[in-house]
């Protein structure tokens, strides 16, 4: 298990839920189309067609929207698995207080 996973799991669940909501709000802007029925379990790549580049765009848009700084150093392909896994990564890798 990596250090990053440990940090993500230790992150505040309420913060993770708020981040899921924010990601859901940002998805239409990043994808350039409306998306319905998005939950924490929605697969970003397989269900929504997010690429690694649009996934990164999503993270950086999230940073601007929430006025937070996120460490992207350890961000890997697995973190883009679902909306929830990305929210967990962000929650565990904040450089500023949420």
Position 29 contacts another protein (CB under 8 A): no
- Tokens 């990164």 correspond to 56
Residues from 35 through 64 that contact another protein (CB under 8 A): 51-53, 56-57, 60-61
Position 67 contacts another protein (CB under 8 A): no
Q: The tokens of 23 are what?
A: 């990601």
Q: E-strand spans in the chain?
A: none
Q: How far is the CB of 62 from another protein (least distance, A)?
A: 12
- Tokens 């999503």 correspond to 58
Q: How far is the CB of 53 from another protein (least distance, A)?
A: 5
């Amino acid at each position: 298990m990596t250090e990053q996973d440990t940090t993500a799991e230790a992150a505040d669940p309420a913060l993770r839920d708020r981040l899921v909501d924010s990601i859901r709000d940002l998805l239409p802007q990043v994808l350039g189309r409306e998306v319905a029925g998005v939950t924490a379990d929605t697969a970003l790549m397989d269900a929504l067609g997010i690429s690694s580049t649009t996934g990164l765009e999503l993270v950086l848009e999230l940073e601007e929207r929430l006025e937070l700084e996120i460490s992207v150093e350890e961000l890997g392909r697995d973190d883009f698995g679902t909306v929830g896994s990305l929210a967990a990564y962000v929650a565990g890798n904040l450089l500023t207080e949420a």
